[in-house]
């Protein structure tokens, strides 16, 4: 079954005063690229998150965001703390200035709170044991993401199957058309020679020889055989359990190679038009494969 590289997943959980939320978004990418945005308190679990994602996804550009909120206040993942050591030094310095210059008055809090670095903003200290809770939540979001990717993959598979059937149909029409093209060529050649020879009958053996040369030059039997094999391989991969996007891209290149050869051997307008139709369909297949894992 095909899997798309585009999807979205979300999961939430509550633990005491804290609520956690994980959101995962993925889009197509030739390889796998993972970007994380997680609270400072959980930066150590970044590698574990990436390992978890890679166990579910083989390709795609994936962004995971984990946020937390504290229901008891509005500080979220940060808390403000006084820098008492620095504030004490400020107060001592102010008092020294006052004494040295003989200034009157008292050192008030208003004189201190505006001074640089008197307050510190730090990540909230959270129990590292919460890592397993967050990983379980992330896995739940990944499951939701995979479900969406598989649903879109089902639609893509249906579309691709129809396009492969279309290519097979056009290839069959080309193969069916080829003998007629040879006979039409033979008739035109015979008529042309008669006109040039002022109506005199021509050597039938010579005509047959010329016709055979054209038939050999335009023979697409091998190309049709290989093309049919590639189309069947393409269909069989729909049942694979592992990611198959790159394999399908390779087979599509091989299909295109056979079609190009068939086009170079086509000396008939109808056959040339059918080749164009196939190449147009292949281009649409390439566009779809860009989003297959």
DSSP symbols for 2-19:
--BS-EEEEEEEEETTEE
- Give residue 269's pLDDT: 81
Q: Is 210 helix (H, G, I), strand (E, B) or coil?
A: helix
Residues above pLDDT 70, as percent of the chain: 80
Distance (Å, whole) CA 48 – CA 110: 46
- Give residue 68's pLDDT: 82
**Domains along the chain with CATH numbers:** 7-75+128-148 (3.30.230.10), 78-123 (no CATH), 152-289 (no CATH)
φ, ψ of residue 122 to 5 degrees: the values are: -125, 155
**Dihedral sign, Cα of residue 204, residue 208, residue 214, residue 220:** positive
At 272, list the tokens.
């040339």
Cα separations (Å) of 138 from 14, 143, 218?
14, 9, 59
More confident position, 93 or 185? 93
More confident position, 231 or 81? 231
More confident position, 37 or 266? 37
Which candidate, 23, 25, 27, 24, places its Cα nearest to that of 6? Answer: 27
Distance (Å, whole) CA 21 – CA 11: 6
Alpha carbon 258 to its chain's center: 27
Report the residue count for the chain.
Answer: 293
**Residue 88, CB-side half-sphere exposure with 13 Å CA sphere:** 3
- Give residue 71's pLDDT: 67
Element (H, E) at 135: helix 131-196
Distance (Å, whole) CA 191 – CA 185: 10
Please determine, for residue 109, whether its predicted confidence score (pLDDT) is greater than 90: no
Range of lowest pLDDT (152-156, 182-186, 248-252, 289-293): 182-186
Range of lowest pLDDT (106-120, 157-171, 207-221): 207-221
Which candidate, 229, 221, 127, places its Cα nearest to that of 179? Answer: 221
- In degrees to the nearest 10, what's the CA dihedral of 230, 234, 239, 241? 100
Distance (Å, whole) CA 18 – CA 70: 5
């Amino acid at each position: 079954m095909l899997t798309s590289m585009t999807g979205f997943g979300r999961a939430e959980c509550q633990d005491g005063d804290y609520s956690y939320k994980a959101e995962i978004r993925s889009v197509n990418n030739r390889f796998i690229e993972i970007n994380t945005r997680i609270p400072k308190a959980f930066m150590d679990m970044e590698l574990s998150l990436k390992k978890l994602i890679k166990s579910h996804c083989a390709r795609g550009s994936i962004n995971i965001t984990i946020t937390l909120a504290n229901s008891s206040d509005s500080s979220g993942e940060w808390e403000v703390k006084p820098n008492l050591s620095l504030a004490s030094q400020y107060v001592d310095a102010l008092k020294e200035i006052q004494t040295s210059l003989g200034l009157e008055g008292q050192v008030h809090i208003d004189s201190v709170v505006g001074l640089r670095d008197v307050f510190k903003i730090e990540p909230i200290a959270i129990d590292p044991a919460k890592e397993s809770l967050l990983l379980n939540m992330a896995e739940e979001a990944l499951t939701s993401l995979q479900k969406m990717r598989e649903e879109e993959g089902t639609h893509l598979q249906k579309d691709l199957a129809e396009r492969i059937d279309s290519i097979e149909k056009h290839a069959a029409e080309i193969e069916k058309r080829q003998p007629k093209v040879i006979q039409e060529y033979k008739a035109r050649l015979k008529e042309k020679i008669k006109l040039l020879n002022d109506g005199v009958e021509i050597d039938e053996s010579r005509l047959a020889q010329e016709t055979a040369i054209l038939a050999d030059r335009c023979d697409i039997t091998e190309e049709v055989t290989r093309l049919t094999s590639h189309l069947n391989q393409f269909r069989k991969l729909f049942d694979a359990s592992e990611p198959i996007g790159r394999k399908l891209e390779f087979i599509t290149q091989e299909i295109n190679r056979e079609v190009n050869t068939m086009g170079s051997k086509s000396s008939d307008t109808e056959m040339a038009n059918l080749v164009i139709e196939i190449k147009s369909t292949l281009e649409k297949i390439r566009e779809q494969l860009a989003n297959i894992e």
